[in-house]
Copies of this chain bind each other. A is one copy, B any other.
Amino acid sequence: MKLSARNVIPGTVLAVIKGATTTHVRLEVAGGQVITSSITNEAAEELGLKEGGKAYAVVKASDVIIAVD
């Protein structure tokens, strides 16, 4: 599947933290940067996300804010 989302960032799952309905996923990507995502518990189970597993962070360009110091 090819996506229109401009940002498809490969990484390794560092942590999968499950809440009542929402799961937080930490992904280590290039350069040691960590990206946090919040997804539904159902999605986390369906994708079989496990520490050490390979995954991508997918972000639409319109969801990226730019900041400067």
Taken together as a complex, chains A and B put the C-alpha atoms of A30 and B28 apart, in Å, by 11
**Contact A3 B64, beta carbon cutoff 8 Å:** no
Choice from B36, B40, B53, B60 contacting A24 with Cβ under 8 Å: B40
Interface mask (A22-36 → B, CB under 8 Å = 1, otherwise 0): 111101011111011
Interface residues in A, total, Cβ within 8 A? 54
**Known contacts being A4-B47, A43-B4, A47-B2, is A37 close to B19, with CB within 8 Å?**
no
Q: A24 → chain B, closest Cβ, in Å? A: 6
Binding site for B on A (CB under 8 A): 1-9, 17-25, 27, 29-33, 35-40, 42-44, 46-49, 53-69
